[in-house]
Every structure is written in C-alpha cells, then in structure tokens.
Structure 1
Amino acid sequence: MTKTFEEKFNDYAELVVKVGLNLQEGQRLLIKAPMEAAGFVHKVTEHAYKNGCKRVFVDYKDAALERIHYTYAAEEVLENFAPTWEQELFTSLTEHNDCCLLITGEAPNAYSGIDSKRLKMVTKNNAKHTEAFTKARLNGEVPWVIAGVPTKGWAASVFPDQTEEEAIASLWEAIFQTVRADVTNPVEAWETHVQSLTQKVNFLNEKRIKTLHYRSTGTDLTIELHPDHLWMGGGHQSTAGKMFIPNLPTEEVFTAPLKYGVNGTVSSKKPLSAMGNIIDHFSLTFKDGKVVDYAAEKGYDTLKELLSLDEGMLYLGEVALVPHDSPISNSGVIFNNTLFDENASCHLAIGNVISMNIEGAGAMSKEELEEKGINSSTGHTDFMIGSHDLHIEAVDYQGHSFTLFADGNWAI
C-alpha cells in the first residue's frame, strides 16, 4: 500500500531518532537546522521525547539574516566572535555523550555574491570555535546525524523547471526514497542495508590494502592508505558502546589516507556546494600528498579560499567508495548537496581525517598526528569523483593487485 506524505514524514523523523542517532533514554539532543525545517524539527523533537530524551535544544539558522551579517559585520567579528553559551553547550553535550542532529537544506548558492575572503573568515571562525566539538563527534563521543530537509532555495536549484510548491514536493519525495522512508518497514530496510555495507567493510579490512589507483576521464590518482587505517560504513560505535549512523542517507564505505601518500590529478564529477557557493568542473593535482595545482570552471575563487583555510586543507582526509549503480545515483537527481551527492558517487575529502578511521588516532595530539602521517585541519570538505568509467586498482601489503572497481561499480 502506498504511504501518504504524512506517514513518510513521520517515519523519516522516527528513523533519525531511532536508527540514525539511536537516542538512548536520558540523553539530550542538540538540533541545528534552517528555519524552514521547523516542521520537521518539531516531529523529530516529538519522537525524541517519546524515546526517552531528557532535553532537546534547537539552534535555528536564517540564511537571509546570515547574508546581512556576512556582508556588513566588522571583520574582527567575522574572524573572532563565538558566543560563550554555545561553547558551554558543546562542552556539556560532549561530557555527557549526548546527541547532535545537523539538518542540511540551505540553498547551495545562499551566499553567492558575498566577498569570498569574508566567507573564508566566517568559515575559519566557525571551524575554530567548534573544533573541540567536531573532534568529539569524529571520535564517536557525541552520536550525530546529518539529514536533509527541503527549503525553497535548495528545491529550486534541484528542480528549476518546477513551481516552488512542486519543487519542494519533488525534493521531499526524492529524500524519502534515498532514506528508505517510503518502504513499508523503514527500520527493517535499514538493518538489511547496514548489513550489506558491513560485509564490504569486513572484506576491505581483511584485505589490508596499501594503495588505490584511480583512473577515469580527467583522473589518474594514486592514494596510499594509512598503515593503521580502518574501513567503516553504515553504523558506527560511539565511545559509550552504542551504534549510530551519521549520514541519512548513506551508501559509502570509507577510510583514511596516508597524509603524504597521494600523487596525481583528480577531477570532480558533480557540483560541490561550499561556503554558500557552487564549485563545478574542478580538478586538484597532488604531489607527495599536497595540492600543488587546481582549476575550476565555476567557483574558482571559492575553491581558492577553501584550500587556504589552513595547511591541512591541502591534503586528503578521507577516501570513500560508492558504486555508480546505487539508489541515489540511479535516481538521476543531482541534489547540489554534499550529503546526498557524495552517496551517489565515490568521493574524497580534503581536510581533517575522521579519527575513527585510524586505530588510536582519537587520543593523539596534533603533533602525534603529524608524526604518524595523519592529516589535521579545521575543515573537512567532501567532493565527488565517481563516474561510469571509474576504475580502481588495489594493491595489498603483500604486493598482490586486484580490481576493486570497474566501470564505476564494485568488482568484488
């Protein structure tokens, strides 16, 4: 029987709480969301309390107001201001292993036309004052989920030929499909999906791969994985021993590169929304791990500022595998949103390594991370490189070579 919108909407909110966050009785929840997502925030909050949540905190973001702030605020404010109440909340949530839900949905070009240098100031400042909280999330101390909710600007960018109402409805349906909220038993569907991803993770961890060689149109790149790398995918275990799924949707398995072990050129295959602007048809060239050259047909200035956030943004922090023949890719929808587009395509990330991907990294200082060849940065930006002609050849530590991806899909 076909489910109504209200049923899918409710099931999506329930999935976020019970499957994504796996919220436990007595935990608190911080929700950061666009103002247009208020209806979904209300439904998630309802399910959170029904699931035993102690307290829900909500921090709404107004993109139009942010534009005014980014345009007119003094540079010293853009570069240095951080509210003390937010710092105290982040610290408290981390200490108590509470949860965090990040709702994405801003228009991909929400800050188009604003001086890219001012946007860089804001991005660096946000990264700096949330650094400890971000580290706690990446260590698994704070179970977290990123989920999408349509806004007018985002929907218009995905379905430009539709009316505003039609575009929002179409984007909702696309999201429901990608998160499996449209099936009869979404929780059961996610259990099956996570099992499938776990099988891939187990295979890759048993193989102990040393290098990956990527080849496709515009791409010829070799990546040496960190010797202590761990593949992950689907559910992750928090430091409190509870499983959670950080991304809804998720189709990826991912791990960490060796900081200085990346060489060659890689080309993007989907648009990237970064710092409120679109970067498209871009390439990065690496030598001994570092970006030494880059180009972009669209958004060059934004790419330039992104790469200059700090030294760590010139190195890779994540290697992720997603088959071209995957549900999101097969939908034919380009979401102009990294959460969704990265789960339709193999991707890489410049910036900070996800510490859960390297054994023991969560307890290391920045100096120890550097000594071990683990990239550290205030930023972490995924970009999509998968395509129908992608070929990935793997070599293990015994020198054995095998094809991991052929024609964009798993060859194992």
Structure 2
Amino acid sequence: MDQRVYDHAETLVDWSARIEAGDDVVLRVSEGAHDLAVAVAEKLGERGANLLTVYSSDEISRAYLRGHDGEFDADPEYELAMYERADSVLSLGGGRNTTALADVPGDRRQAAARAREGIREARLDTDWVSTVHPTRSLAQQAGMAYEEYREFVYDAVLRDWETLAEEMAQLKDLLDDGSEVRIVGEGTDLTMSVENRIAVNSAASVAYDSHNLPSGEVFTAPVVDSVEGKVVFDVPMTISDRRVRDVELTFEGGEVVEYAAAQGEEAIAETLETDAGAKRLGELGIGMNRGIHRPTDRILFDEKMGGTVHMALGRAYASNFPEDRAEERNESAVHVDLIRRMDEGSRLEVDGEVVQEDGVFRWE
C-alpha cells in the first residue's frame, strides 16, 4: 500500500483526532475508503484505542430513502447511544458514485435530516474528524486523472500543520478583535457583524477546535440579523447531488430575500425552504490552504482553498460562541457552504481595514 495512506492515517489519528489509549472510537467507512480504514485501524490499535467500525454507503442510503414512506422516527435510540458513548468519531469519505442520491426526492431527504438532528448533535459533541480517501469517483468529479487527484489530496492533507496554524492565528486575532467584516468583489458587496464571536483557527486538529482533514481555514459566525447586501458565489459545486453554479444571494436584516443561480437554482430553493434558519448565515470562512489550488467539487477541499471565502446557509457551530451567547447561535437542519474566489478586484475588510486584497493577505 502507498506509504502516503499510512501517513494520512497517522496524521488523522495523532495530529487531528489526538487519540489516546482507552478512547472509544467510531470509525465510519465509506465504500471506497477501505485502504485508509485499514491503515487507521492499525494506528488505533497501536494507540490502544477501542474500535467500532460502521460501514457507510450512499447507494444503501438511496435504497432506504426511496423505499421509505417519509415518516421517520426521530433519533433511533440504538444509533444515538453509539455516538453519545463515543469519545471520537472518524469519518472516511470516498464513495463509488458521487451522485448516488440524485433521484431521492428532496422533501424526503429533508425529513430524514430533521429526524436525525439529535444524532448529528451527539456526533458533533465528540472529538469528530472527517477526511477523504482519494477514489476514482472523486477524481472524476474533480475532472482530474486518478493519479493527479491522489497527488492533489496528499498535497492538501500532508502539510506542516503547525506552521500553517501560526499563520492562520493572525487572521483569527483580527476577527476576534473586530466588529464588522466587509467582502467586496465583482457583483458582491456584503457586510456582517462578527462582534462577540470566537473565530476558529481550523488547523485540522481537535486541539484547535478543528474537525476536517484537510483543513486550512479560519471561520466565524455572523450575528444573524446583521448580514446586509449581495454576494455572488462563483465556485461551482454540487448540492444535494445537483450541480450548482453562480449563485447570487441578497440579504436584508440577515435573511435571504432574493436568490438566483445560473444552474441548480432548485437545489438552492430546497435548501432555503428546509426551515427558518436555512435562510440565514451560520458561518463565514476564509480559505488559507495554499496546497488546495483549484476546485474539486468537494466541499471538504474547496472551502479551504487559498484565496477564497465561503459562507454557510443554516446551522452555526457552537465553537464560535462564548457560553453566555450560546442562545444567539443560528439553528437549522442544514449547513450548506457556498464559495467565492477573492481574485483580482476583491478585498476583505475588518473594521474598514483591508486584510486581504486580490486574494493575498497583507502579511503574505
């Protein structure tokens, strides 16, 4: 097996999840991630952790959802108990078909998501980490040759995370000390308050309150009713197994009042209709991983791409809120990220000071 698979597993177990002897670990394995799962299991054994492996397949999920009547039991106890007892949950993505759920009705998927909110929250209460094993289906989705895609993934994952964490700390401090963020670019002029929020230095480790590998972003949560203006998201992506391109959102009083898309507008409409919180922003993130240099149609990578910002419709992360302001967190059954490039003519301001211009930070 490729040595980089073992290096990936070691980074996941040691740097990202910080697994220790005696930890109870749930390993969620997608159907294409077998090799990485084997390497991770070996590392977990070496660390003296306890392992429970769960198989995950979009094709199985499709069959179940299409066969179901749509009336889902809320948070089945047997599954909820598994996550409530776990110390860590490691999710290894990499399926065989990236659009396996494309023909599942949107209302059924939304109902299933709402019924599992408690399970999702229990999983997010653990030291969870999500990563992806490079597969041919993901390479095809990214428009890359398989070997090319493997190189891309490992360039993004096997980084000097300590050094990158130090660089990202500069942006975290600016956001923590700041009150207003403004994003300006072609078709975009958006402002939001980040006052009394905690920015997360997402350096691919639970020690930094970061849960993705690769990572390489700093993210915060806007004050929900403060978002004003218009934003264009120009990085194509897949939402609910449908291609979405050039999304335009207009905010007033923190809520989406107008929306459009050159492609996949129905996926945006379904997202916004999920619940009241889906019409508001739960996250503002700034990508800083220069090892990710192009979109791949995989949010795990694309939202971390250097020279981009992303915003999520829906659920905010608890990590962005001081304890005395937890009630201000935007709640939703969805968290859907949209990305725009901060290329020539764009700028990111904090309290009127330019922090990034044309995609380049002032300290770079």
Give the TM-score, by structure 2 length.
Answer: 0.91
- Aligned Cα root-mean-square deviation (Å): 2.3
Q: Which of these residues, 326, 340, 350, is aligned with residue 290 of structure 2?
A: 326
The equivalent of 1:173 in structure 2 is 151
SS at match of 2:225: strand
The answer to whether 1:380 aligns with 2:329 is no
Q: Which of these residues, 165, 182, 186, is aligned with residue 213 of structure 1?
A: 182
Q: Segments of 4+ in structure 1 off by > 6 A?
A: none
The answer to whether 1:405 aligns with 2:356 is yes
Cα 1:327/1:384, change in 2 over 3 Å? same
The equivalent of 2:85 in structure 1 is 92
* Contact 2:83–2:123 under 8 Å retained in 1: no
Query: Cα deviation per residue 1:144-197 (whole Å; 9 max; x = unaligned)?
Result: 21111133432221136xxxxxx43332221111112xxxxx6xx222222222
Q: How does 1:208-287 map to 2 (within 5 A)?
A: 208-225=177-194, 227-235=195-203, 245-287=210-252
Cα 1:13/1:237, change in 2 over 3 Å? closer
SS at match of 1:327: coil
The answer to whether 1:357 aligns with 2:297 is no
**Higher mean displacement: 11-20 or 22-31:** 22-31
**Higher mean displacement: 301-310 or 340-349:** 301-310
The answer to whether 1:19 aligns with 2:15 is yes
The offset of 1:247, in angstroms, is 1.5
SS at match of 2:341: coil
Cα 1:65/1:118, change in 2 over 3 Å? same
SS at match of 1:80: coil
The equivalent of 2:166 in structure 1 is 195
Q: Which amino acid aligns with 1:288?
A: G
The equivalent of 1:120 in structure 2 is 110
Query: Cα deviation per residue 1:90-136 (whole Å; 9 max; x = unaligned)?
Result: 1212xxxx11112233444232233222222233333x242431552
SS at match of 1:320: strand
* Contact 1:316–1:348 under 8 Å retained in 2: yes
The offset of 1:234, in angstroms, is 3.3
CA distance in 2, matches of 1:209, 1:295: 31
* Contact 1:313–1:352 under 8 Å retained in 2: yes
Q: Which of these residues, 246, 266, 271, is aligned with residue 301 of structure 1?
A: 266
CA distance in 1, matches of 2:224, 2:165: 29
Cα 1:134/1:296, change in 2 over 3 Å? farther
* Contact 1:231–1:254 under 8 Å retained in 2: yes
The offset of 1:12, in angstroms, is 0.6
Q: How does 1:15-54 map to 2 (within 5 A)?
A: 15-53=11-49
Cα 1:100/1:135, change in 2 over 3 Å? closer
* Contact 2:142–2:297 under 8 Å retained in 1: yes
* Contact 1:131–1:378 under 8 Å retained in 2: no
Q: Which amino acid aligns with 1:341?
A: D
Query: Cα deviation per residue 1:323-353 (whole Å; 9 max; x = unaligned)?
Result: 5x82212xx3x21110100001211111122
SS at match of 1:213: strand
The offset of 1:272, in angstroms, is 2.8
The equivalent of 1:62 in structure 2 is 57
Cα 1:190/1:394, change in 2 over 3 Å? closer
The offset of 1:218, in angstroms, is 2.1
Cα 1:377/1:292, change in 2 over 3 Å? same
Cα 1:361/1:23, change in 2 over 3 Å? farther
The answer to whether 1:317 aligns with 2:307 is no
Gaps of 5+ in 2: none
Q: Which amino acid aligns with 1:254?
A: F
Q: Which amino acid aligns with 2:81?
A: E
SS at match of 1:75: coil
Give the TM-score, by structure 1 length.
Answer: 0.81
Q: Which amino acid aligns with 2:109?
A: L
SS at match of 1:228: coil
* Contact 1:220–1:264 under 8 Å retained in 2: yes
CA distance in 1, matches of 2:348, 2:214: 24
Cα 1:57/1:278, change in 2 over 3 Å? farther
CA distance in 2, matches of 1:221, 1:63: 36
* Contact 2:143–2:296 under 8 Å retained in 1: no
Q: Which amino acid aligns with 1:190?
A: W
* Contact 1:22–1:244 under 8 Å retained in 2: no
Q: Which of these residues, 54, 79, 90, is aligned with residue 101 of structure 1?
A: 90
* Contact 1:268–1:385 under 8 Å retained in 2: yes
